[in-house]
Every structure is written in C-alpha cells, then in structure tokens.
Amino acid sequence: PIAIAGIGFMDGDAFLKQVKKIIQADIIVSSKRSVNGSHVVLHSSLPYIQAQRVINADQKTMSWFDVTFSRDTPHLTRDIKLPDTLSNEVSITLAVDVSTHFDNFTQLQFSILGISLLAIAGSMLLSMFMASRVNKPVASLVTAANHLADGNYEQCVQTSGHLQEINELSDAFVRMKDSIQSREQRILMQSRLDMLTRLYNRSYMEELIQQRLDAGESLQVIGINIRDFRTINDLYGYSNGDTCIISIAERIKRWRGTAARLSGGELVWFANEPLTDEQLETFHTILEQPVATQQLVMPIKLVFTVVNCPADADNAQDLFRRMNILLDEAEMGANWLLQFSSEIEQRYLRRLSIITELKEVLQSEQDELSLVYQPKISLKTRQVNGLEALIRWNSQRLGFIPPDEFIEIAEQAGFIEQVTDWVLSRVVADILILRAHQIHIKPAVNLSTQDIQNRPLLERLIALLDANELSADNITLEITESDLVADAKIAIANLQFLQDKGFSIAIDDFGTGYSSLAYLKNLPVSAIKIDKAFVLNLSTDTEDQQIVHTVLSLSNIFDLEVVAEGVEDAKAMEILAEWGCDTAQGYYISRPLPLGGLIDWLASSDYYQH
C-alpha cells in the first residue's frame, strides 16, 4: 500500500464503557508480559479483577455446568491482537456475558433433573412395592419349607393371590407338601405294621413294650405260635397259609390289647390286664378254631408261651429272647401252654452249648466222639450174626452226653448230616479193622429222618463203600418207624433206591410209631426191630408178651425178620426163641463195646464161633 492511515482515540475505562453500550459487549485491553507470557489488563469496561479473570479463563472448558454453577459470570470472548508497536503485545478482548442466554436452558435442565429424580423415586417406590408383593409370599414359602424340613406339616402356606406365578408356585408347594406327608405317613406305617395282618411288626412292638416297661408297668406278654405252619403252607398253599394268619390276626384284634406279628406263624400279644388261667384257655380255644375258606377248612393248632414282665424280663430285648426260647421249646413238646421258667432257659442254653461243641468236634481231630458196637445173636444158632453201631460223645467241657439228646439236637439244628457222615466213615474204617482180624460180621447203622430224605448222603455212602472195596452187603441200615411218616413219598423212593443197590434195611423201634404191618409189607424193608420198651419186662409183663407175640406172628406171615432189642435176662431170650424171634440184642448178651473190647469179647465169647 502507498500509505496506512490510523485514527487514535483515548482508551480510558470511561471510553470503553461508552463503546460497550454501542456494541453490547465488554472491552478489555491487555498487554502480554514478556517475562511469563501472562496478560495484564490495561483498560476494561469491566471491573479490573473480573476483567483479569475473563482474559485468563480457558474458553475451551466452558460448559453449561460452568455457566450455571460458577461463582463468576461467564463470558464468551474474542481476542483481537493489535500491531506490536512496542515490546509488549497488546490485545483487545471483546467479552459477552452469556449467563442470561443460559437462563432458559438452565431452567429446562432443572425441570428435566426434577422430573428424572421424581421418576427415579417413583421407580424405586414401585420396585419396593412390587418386591414386597413377591418377597412376602416367597418368605412365607421359605418359612413353610423350613417347617417342612423339620417334619411339621401343620404349618399353612399363606400367599397373596395377586401374582399368578407366585400362586402357581404356592400351589405346587402345597401339592409337594401333601405328597411328602402322605408318603412319609405310608413309610411310617410300613415301618410299624405287618402288611399282611395289619398288626404291628416286631420292631415297633419291641419299642412299645420298652416304653411300657420304662414307665414301670407290668405286662403279661403272650407268644402265639401256629404249630407246623410250614406244613400248612405245603399242604394248602401259601395263599391259604396267609389266609390262616389273617384270620387269627382278626380274632386277636377282637380282644382288648396290643398285638404284633413277629414272623411266619409267630405272633405276640399282651392285654391291658393280665389274663387268668381260665381266660387264657378261653382265648386259646377261640383262636384255635379251624379257618374256613370257600374251598376248604384248615384245622390249626396253637401254642401259647407266656412271659411276665418285669419278673421274667425287665427289658424288651430279653423279653423277645426268652419268647424265642419258649417257642423253640414248644416246637418239641405237645403242651399248648408254656410259662417261662429258669429251667427252660437252662435247657435252651444247654442245647446251644451242645450245638456249638458238637460242630467243633465234628470239624476237629479231637477224639471226643467214638463208636461202640452191641452184638446181636441168632436165636436159632446162638451165634453172633450182627452188630449195631452206636455213637458216644464224652465232651471235655460238658461231660458225657446221651446220644438220644445230642442226636435229636443235631436233627433240630440241621447238621445231622455231618454226624452221619462221621459215623459212616468210622464204621467203614472199623469194618476193615475187623476184617484184618478175620471177623466178618455185618454192622448196622442208624439213619435219621433227614438222612433218609438226603439222596446225596446216600450216594456218598455207596461211593465210600466202593472206595474201600466194600459192598452194600457189608452193612445194614436201620431207620425209625416215624421217619417213614415224615415224608413217606421221598422216604419210600430212597429206600427203594437203597434196596436196589443191595442194602438190607430194618425198621428200628417198631411199635412206637404210627405204621402198621399192613403198611410195612409194601415197604422195601427186610426186618423190623421190636422196641425195647416191649422187651425189657417181657419175662413178667403179660401185656408186653401179648404185643410181642402178635408182632412175631404177623411178621412171620409177611416174611419179615424180627430183631428184639432190650433182652435183659435168659427167660426173655427163651420166650423170644420159642415164639420164633430171629435175633436178640441186649445187655444179657453184651453191653455196647468199643472196637477193641468187641474184638476181645468175640475172642472169648461162646456166641462167636472162631
């Protein structure tokens, strides 16, 4: 340019205020210091301190929040730099107060803030209200669940009916509670009752009795046992056996008292008051009436066992143990009533001792068991024609035990098979010893009821003889008359099996059982032994003489050999010989002898031809 023209005015504060009125903006003239670069207000339409803040303010950070909440009035500024005529830079700053422009916006913001706060508060209140509607029924369900866990089913489930989901949950919980309660009641009932008879079971009856005894009460506890209940099941079937038990249970329920079924045909009952002997007999008579169904009438026999508490037992455990002792005793007797006594318990304990000791002896190498042999002689030749092998037991702990006692116990305990195995093995070994001494006499061995029905045992006997090069002709088998009645079909089949193998079979103790000669003639037997009860007093007792004479006469008709055991004197032996008896056995001839004693006796006896 050719030239620059400039106009200057006095720039005092008053002048700047006049200019402000024209341009509607504050004017600030400032100079920049060269030392630290800060601006110093030279002149301003604003008060000095305020003007200084305006030029020092950071315009980039100004916001609605700054405008609204700042203690200073906010300004919007525009800097105009003047030519640097001097060393200091001079700037003119135009500043406009913007607070008034923000007033409406600020009011809007506060309205929005208020509405937001109200909305938040309302939401919180609504949430609290809704939560209370959910929490209360849920808390009620939690409380009910805790009661349910404690086994309390009486607590009601109370819930509001406003929320369908909660109501459905509540209904499901109630159904679950009812189902659990019903199932638990069934389980409790099953744990206490016998499902067949609806009487109490043993465990709960034991609990009830113990409670009564703990309370100091006296009880007359009656065990009721159906005699031969297994036979009833076998003959009439298990369904009719159940009917029998149910009928007896219903009869018991008519009497005032508490009853339980222990097992099988065993029940127990106690009255509110002890029964007299007459009442016991009446009670027994009523219960023992035959049980009738549409197809048949089942006769039953009952055994009563009585234990008085606390005299006989002061706790339930001892009571049931002694009840079992009585039931065990009742099975072996014919009485319908058994009262507990210390003697019965002692017999029971002795049986247990015999069972334990005998099992140990059979499994060990001890010599407590032994065999003795009683000679038999032919009444025609007066020579030994046979031996009877008899087992003896001299226990180190129990002393001498009669064979009738421990044999019966072994049969009842179910291990007579082991006893018979021992006897057969020993007899075969003794036969070999006798043969070594040139003694050829056939021994007889007694077989029990269970032995006759045990085909594997009989087959082992045959194998034992074969293994020792012996035959069935080297041994005679004796069975008791009652053994045939126990299970005639099996017994007869096995007897026929033995006869086919070549064994001689004799009926032992004839006259004490239930068979007849007409029945025996169809059996595969070759001899009978008249029981010693009819022979011991034969020389003096006329009734015994009539019985023996009749048996001998009929046996001759049926071609059966007869052995008379129990011959105690010469007169009895002469009578038997005169009436045609084949063989005699008894103390008059010889006592039972161990094998060594038998060999010596045979060597010196007139009854054996050397």
CATH number at residue 551: 3.20.20.450
* Residue 499 to residue 207: CA distance in whole angstroms: 57
Token pair 């006095």: residue: 10
- Judge whether residue 100 has pLDDT over 90: no
Yes or no: say if 320 and 353 are a contact pair by the CB < 8 Å rule.
no
Quick one: which of 504, 510, 444, 520 has its CA closest to 480?
A: 510
Both structure tokens of 188? 């409790």
Does the CA dihedral 340-346-348-352 come out positive or negative? positive
DSSP element (H, E) containing 360: helix 342-363
3-state SS string for 261-312: EEECCEEEEEECCCCCHHHHHHHHHHHCCCEECCCCEECCCEEEEEEEECCC
Task: Read off the pLDDT of residues 481-537 as tens digits, 9 standing for 90 and up.
Answer: 666 655 677 888 898 999 999 999 998 878 665 555 556 667 888 999 999 999 999
Q: What is the reported pLDDT for 81?
A: 75
- Statement to judge: residues 30 and 169 lie in one domain: no
Quick one: which of 81, 92, 70, 89 has its CA closest to 25?
A: 92
- Statement to judge: residues 72 and 117 lie in one domain: no
The enclosing domain of 240 has a CATH number of 3.30.70.270
- Higher-pLDDT residue of 398 and 521 is 398
- Statement to judge: residues 390 and 415 lie in one domain: yes
Q: Which of 47, 72, 97 is a domain's end point? A: 97
Q: Which of 324, 340, 356 is a domain's end point? A: 340
Q: What is the reported pLDDT for 516?
A: 58
339-349 residues labelled b (16+ CB within 10 A) or e (exposed): ebeeebbeebe
**Range 496-501, long-range pairs (CB < 8 A, 24+ positions):** 496/524, 497/455, 497/458, 498/458, 498/472, 498/524, 499/524, 501/462, 501/472
Q: What is the reported pLDDT for 222?
A: 93
Q: What is the reported pLDDT for 65?
A: 55
- Statement to judge: residues 459 and 522 lie in one domain: yes
Q: What is the reported pLDDT for 367?
A: 87
Q: What is the reported pLDDT for 545?
A: 93
Mean of per-residue pLDDT scores for the chain: 84
User: Is 356 within a domain?
Assistant: no
* Residue 340 to residue 330: CA distance in whole angstroms: 11
- Judge whether residue 276 has pLDDT over 80: yes
Pairing of strands 291-292, 89-97: unpaired
Q: Kindly give, in sequence order, each residue whose CB lies less than 8 Å from that of residue 416, ignoring residues fewer than 6 positions away.
A: 407, 410, 448, 450, 451
- Statement to judge: residues 271 and 383 lie in one domain: no
DSSP element (H, E) containing 354: helix 342-363
Neighbours of 125 (CB within 10 A): 10
Q: Kindly give, in sequence order, each residue whose CB lies less than 8 Å from that of residue 451, ignoring residues fewer than 6 positions away.
A: 416, 417, 420, 457, 458
- Statement to judge: residues 278 and 160 lie in one domain: no
- Judge whether residue 61 has pLDDT over 60: no
- Statement to judge: residues 548 and 419 lie in one domain: yes
Number of folded domains in the chain?
4
Banded model confidence at residue 607, pLDDT cuts 50, 70, 90: very high
List the 39-44 sheet strands across, edge first: 39-44, 26-32, 89-97, 75-81
Quick one: which of 330, 354, 347, 334 has its CA closest to 410?
A: 354
Q: What is the reported pLDDT for 562?
A: 94
Task: Read off the pLDDT of residues 294-349 as tens digits, 9 standing for 90 and up.
Answer: 888 999 999 999 999 999 999 999 999 998 898 888 877 778 898 999 999 999 99
User: Is 253 within a domain?
Assistant: yes
Q: Torsions phi, psi of 602, nearest 5?
A: -60, -35
The enclosing domain of 59 has a CATH number of 3.30.450
Q: What is the reported pLDDT for 574?
A: 95
- Statement to judge: residues 93 and 124 lie in one domain: no
Task: Read off the pLDDT of residues 337-385 as tens digits, 9 standing for 90 and up.
Answer: 989 999 999 999 999 999 999 999 998 878 899 999 999 999 999 999 9
- Higher-pLDDT residue of 438 and 272 is 438
- Statement to judge: residues 170 and 205 lie in one domain: no
Residue 63: domain span: 13-97
User: Is 422 within a domain?
Assistant: yes
Work out the percent of the chain whose per-residue pLDDT is above 70.
84
Banded model confidence at residue 7, pLDDT cuts 50, 70, 90: low
* Residue 230 to residue 356: CA distance in whole angstroms: 26
Average pLDDT for residues 249-266, to the nearest whole number? 91
Q: What is the reported pLDDT for 563?
A: 95
* Residue 184 to residue 178: CA distance in whole angstroms: 10
Residue 237: burial class (beta carbons within 10 Å; 0-12, 13-18, 19+): exposed
Ranges 79-93, 197-211, 557-571: which has the least confidence: 79-93
Banded model confidence at residue 543, pLDDT cuts 50, 70, 90: very high
Pairing of strands 75-81, 89-97: antiparallel
User: Is 358 within a domain?
Assistant: no
Banded model confidence at residue 154, pLDDT cuts 50, 70, 90: low
* Residue 567 to residue 72: CA distance in whole angstroms: 148
Q: What is the reported pLDDT for 487?
A: 64
- Judge whether residue 423 has pLDDT over 60: yes
User: Is 362 within a domain?
Assistant: no
User: Is 168 within a domain?
Assistant: yes
Average pLDDT for residues 251-280, to the nearest whole number? 91
User: Is 287 within a domain?
Assistant: yes
pTM > 0.85: yes or no:
no
- Higher-pLDDT residue of 44 and 88 is 44
Q: What is the reported pLDDT for 506?
A: 92
- Judge whether residue 67 has pLDDT over 70: no
Q: What is the DSSP string of 365-391?
A: ----EEEEEEEEEETTT-SEEEEEEEE
Ranges 267-271, 295-299, 480-484, 570-574: which has the least confidence: 480-484
Tell me the three state secondary structure of residue 93.
strand
- Judge whether residue 76 has pLDDT over 70: yes
* Residue 45 to residue 468: CA distance in whole angstroms: 149
Ranges 516-525, 545-554, 590-599: which has the least confidence: 516-525
Ranges 354-363, 414-423, 425-434, 509-518: which has the least confidence: 509-518
- Statement to judge: residues 139 and 278 lie in one domain: no
Determine the angle formed by the axes of helices 316-332 and 342-363, rounding to 10 degrees.
80
- Statement to judge: residues 452 and 581 lie in one domain: yes
Ranges 45-49, 198-202, 452-456: which has the least confidence: 45-49
Task: Read off the pLDDT of residues 106-144 as tens digits, 9 standing for 90 and up.
Answer: 788 788 888 999 999 988 888 887 766 666 677 776 777
Tell me the three state secondary structure of residue 71.
coil
User: Is 354 within a domain?
Assistant: no
Yes or no: say if 268 and 276 are a contact pair by the CB < 8 Å rule.
no
- Statement to judge: residues 135 and 56 lie in one domain: no
Q: Which of 138, 168, 192 is a domain's end point? A: 192
